Amino acid sequence: MKKLIPILIIFSFIIIKPQDRNAVSQITKESLIKTVSILSSKEYDGRLPGSEGYDKAAKFVSNKFLEMKLKPFGDAGYFQFLNVEYNRIDTPVVFEAIIDSETIIYKYGKDFVLRGFSGANSFTLPVAFCGYGISRPDLGYDDYQNVNVKNKIVIVFKQNPKWKIDDKDWGTAYPREKSLVAKQKGAKGILFVSLPNDEKPQPLIGSVMHGEGEQPTVFPQIHISIESANKLLSKVGLTLSECQTKIDEKKKPFSFLTRTKAKVIATTYYQKEAKTMNVVALLEGNDPILKNEYVVIGAHLDHVGSQAGLLFPGANDNASGSAGVLEIAKAFVADKVKPKRSIIFVSFASEEQGLNGSKHFVENLKVPEEKIVAMLNLDCIGYGDSIQVGNGKSSPKLWQIAKDFDEKNFKLMVSDTWSGGGADATPFHEKGIPSLYFVSKYSYDHLHLPTDTVETLNPDLFEKIVRLAFLTSKQIADGNYEREDVR
């Protein structure tokens, strides 16, 4: 009989109990979609931290926490403040190719976008092609060695080579790193272009992932289409694909002056330190001992903003996860049986710039680190066809709770997982806190594009992922999981 007891306990966990059905029913696709519609609307302007739009989104979340009568758990009320770099992109924004006497006017959003941390300037200058934009004399490779780029605009591949020299890393490939190299060589601006020989070249995305170093405030950084780059190479009779092939086959630079010019106007306003905030609330547990242990349920609230009127709505990334956190909070509040452990709900700022909000949260905990039993992260959960729960290889017992619930109730969770955290779960994982990362499978068709709108979402899948995250977190909060050692 003793051998049967653990099996019975497990089955009691994975089947939705009658007393839990009311709480689960609070999570509805209609409510989720409504919240995403609000957060991804023009009023919130893409939710770039440091902007008025992001502040409005943070206020929206804090008001929802207040309506639920959750305890404020920030520095001032629900807000936990931090500083981030901020760059506003305004009009005018211009990119034109000048080939002999012909001027080709490119369309913003279709043929080019600015990088989120572009500098501001206005000029018409000759263009040079400089391969991968890498200067590594220590590796015997320098795309700038045999071309004079002083007072010119350079075209470089946005990514680094897939091959290596002496198995050494090239660097980060972040746009700021490549921009600072080009600037140091005398260039006045940079045109990034995706690798044409990739099976699926990267589209023109909005991005504020810029890398370390000082902001080059008068150095425009533009991401142009492959077709636009080919126009600029047309005078030398080469295509971008041919240039990449030549460099990759010989593993040697192939840089040259294009004999064309480009007109660039970039209008930006940069702040080195702009105030922004995480939004944090607490639901206290009802067990006299376990209430001093915590479950963190979080999602990043930010996206990449807008550029000169071009909106990146961020419906799936990550208004979906933010809506999920609010629905889970609502379900816990509606539950007649309060959790034994306390739950911290948090909307993180500045994930898109490099997990700044979640790092700040972990580095400034208001509770003992060892008392956080688990962290659940929701990111891009509204688009796709199935459920993926990441970090299962690092927190396998935690992952199994989600897997068991899915098998008995939804049958949508794929077996693929990974280790090492992922997105805003990463800072928690690095502190040894067991974490899960809820995401929909095939979630990224509209990633960082103007087309990431609420109309593209899969409401049925969205609802099931959030319900799965709630049921998983409820088991943890009810004391049916002991913190495991992170692998």
pLDDT digits (tens, 9 = 90+) for 248-270: 999 999 999 999 999 999 999 99
| pLDDT of amino acid 18 | 62
Cβ neighbours of residue 239 under 8 Å, at least 6 residues apart? 196, 230, 233
Which residues does 341 contact at the CB level (< 8 Å), separation at least 6? 285, 287, 290, 291, 293, 294, 295, 373, 476, 477, 478, 479
Element counts in the chain: helices (H) and strands (E)? 12, 18
Average pLDDT value for residue range 113-126: 98
Q: State the pLDDT at residue 322.
A: 98
Q: Which CATH architecture group holds 14-86+271-477?
A: 3-Layer(aba) Sandwich (3.40)
**pLDDT tens digit sequence for 403-431:** 999 999 999 999 999 999 999 999 999 99
Local confidence band at 21 (pLDDT 50, 70, 90 cut-offs)? confident
Contact 420, 467 (CB under 8 A): no
- The amino acid sitting at 98 is I
3: pLDDT strictly greater than 60: no
DSSP assigned state of 318 = I
Q: Residue 369: pLDDT band by 50, 70, 90 thresholds?
A: very high
pLDDT band of 10, cuts 50, 70, 90: very low
Task: Report the pLDDT value the prediction gives residue 14, as an integer from 0 to 100.
Answer: 59
Tell me the per-residue pLDDT of 171-207, one tens digit each, with 9 for 90 and over. 999 999 999 999 999 999 999 999 999 999 999 999 9
Mean pLDDT (the chain) is 95
Written as one string, the DSSP assignment of 330-392 is HHHHH-SS--SSEEEEEEES-STTTSHHHHHHHHT-SS-GGGEEEEEEE-S-SSSSEEEEE-T
Q: Span 316-328, mean pLDDT?
A: 98
Q: Report which of residues 12 and 142 the model is more confident about.
A: 142
From residue 403, alpha-carbon distances to 13, 400, 412, 468 in Å are 11, 5, 10, 9
pTM of the shown model: 0.94
- 436 pLDDT band, cuts 50/70/90, is very high
Dihedrals φ, ψ of 233, to 5°?
-95, -5
Confidence tier at 22 by pLDDT (50, 70, 90): confident
**pLDDT of the residue at 453:** 98
The yes-or-no verdict on residue 297 having pLDDT over 60 is yes
Q: Architecture of 87-269 per CATH?
A: 3-Layer(bba) Sandwich (3.50)
Q: Of residues 20 and 33, which shows the higher confidence score?
A: 33
At residue 19 the predicted structure's pLDDT band, cuts being 50, 70 and 90, is: low
Judge residue 250's burial from the number of C-beta atoms within 10 Å of its C-beta, 0-12 exposed, 13-18 middle, 19 or more buried: exposed
Domain ranges in the chain are 14-86+271-477, 87-269
Supply 401's token pair. 């709770």
Give the rounded percent of residues in the chain with a pLDDT score beyond 90: 95
Sequential DSSP letters for 187-256: -SEEEEE--TTSSS-----------SS---TT--EEEE-HHHHHHHHGGGT--HHHHHHHHHHHTS---E
What number is the average pLDDT over the span 444-460? 97
Round to the nearest angstrom and report the end-to-end CA distance of the chain.
33
Assess whether pLDDT exceeds 50 at residue 377: yes
Interacting residues of 235 by C-beta distance below 8 A, sequence separation 6+: 99, 100, 258, 259, 260
Cis preceding linkage at 72, omega within 30: no
d(CA 31, CA 24): 13
Mean pLDDT of 282-298: 98
Beta strands at 256-283 and 342-348: parallel, antiparallel or unpaired: antiparallel
